[in-house]
Structure 1
């Protein structure tokens, strides 16, 4: 599924979290499996991201048109077109309002090296990152964005 609410929680040890609505088909799958993958697709795949967010896996095989391999650590799907992917093993689940927050150890990491600079930052001349704005709208982060370092 496409998830709009997810974040790093800890750098050492590496821990990641994602909020999933309890009514989602993915919710029970993740809860039962105790593991999952997070895949980050480029902006050019925004339509596929959107479809993954609005179609239910209960009625649609969302992976049917995507190329993937099974993750080494979890067997979860790692999409070949991802610029970054994480394999995660759930360590905690907490309820917050209408979502549960799945907290997981990062146990596998994949990165398309061509999309990153030597310092680890994205190479925005080779990668356009989709920023989800809500209501089926996406913005493209690419090399035309100006960044400012505000450290004294």
Structure 2
């Protein structure tokens, strides 16, 4: 029965892939595809995190998170962040990412990412085996991949083409970590 559910979800792919930063004292980075805009006013987004994930407990604990937007150059770190468990080891020691102080939340941002959306949790919605954390976007920092608030499609944003080691970008190229 589980494989039928996975097969149905495959029809939603490819999806943009993001890095979710959570935790303050021992920050953790997790890869997530299930990120969705929810409202213009107030500016809200949602991120669905599995109950068993370490990130889930960190977001519940501190009530904040950062959604970081990677490009294909960070694919190895994106893969590691999604396959290693921060509960079992310090993921940051295995990643070549630099955590920097955020402007409006205690959770750090990622220097190498093209955007960091700093969020405060305003609602939690239980959705089966995941919680949809609704975050109000308090501040955004961005790099050259965004001009006037719009993405420059010449940058290759990471997209998960399907479950597993199958990534693409906003081009027709395929990549593996």
The two structures have a TM-score, normalised by structure 2, of 0.74
Q: Which residue of 2 aligns with 1:115?
A: 145
1:39 aligns with 2:68: yes
Any idea what SS the aligned residue of 1:87 has? strand
Which residue, out of 52, 72, 82, partners 2:103? 72
Aligned mates of 2:41, 2:52 — CA distance in 1: 32
CA separation of 1:140 and 1:89: change in aligned 2, threshold 3 A: same
Q: In the TM superposition, what is the alpha-carbon distance from 1:141 to its structure 2 partner?
A: 1.3
Task: Give the deviation of 1:42 after TM superposition.
Answer: 0.4
- Is 1:130 the equivalent of 2:158? yes
- Does 1:91 find its partner at 2:122? yes
Contact conserved, 2:102 with 2:118, CA < 8 A, in 1? Answer: yes
Rounded Cα–Cα distance in structure 2 between residues aligned with 1:91 and 1:74: 13
SS at match of 2:42: coil
- 3-state SS, counterpart of residue 129 of structure 1: coil
After superposition, what is the alpha-carbon deviation per residue over 1:53-108, rounded to whole angstroms, capped at 9, x for unaligned? 11010122222331121212112121111111111000111111111100011011
| Counterpart for residue 89 of structure 2 | 60
Cα pair 2:77 2:97 within 8 Å, conserved: no
Cα RMSD after superposing both structures:
1.6
8 Å CA contact 2:115–2:140 kept in 1: the answer is: yes
Gaps (5+ residues) in structure 2? 1-29
Structure 1: how far apart are the matches of 2:152 and 2:125? 35
Structure 1: stretches of 5+ with no match in the other structure: 146-152
Equivalent of 1:105, from 136, 139, 150? 136
> For residues 93-139 of structure 1, what are the alpha-carbon distances to aligned partners after superposition, in whole Å with 9 as ceiling and x for unaligned?
11111111000110111111x22344x332223x1111112212110
Aligned position for 2:42: 13
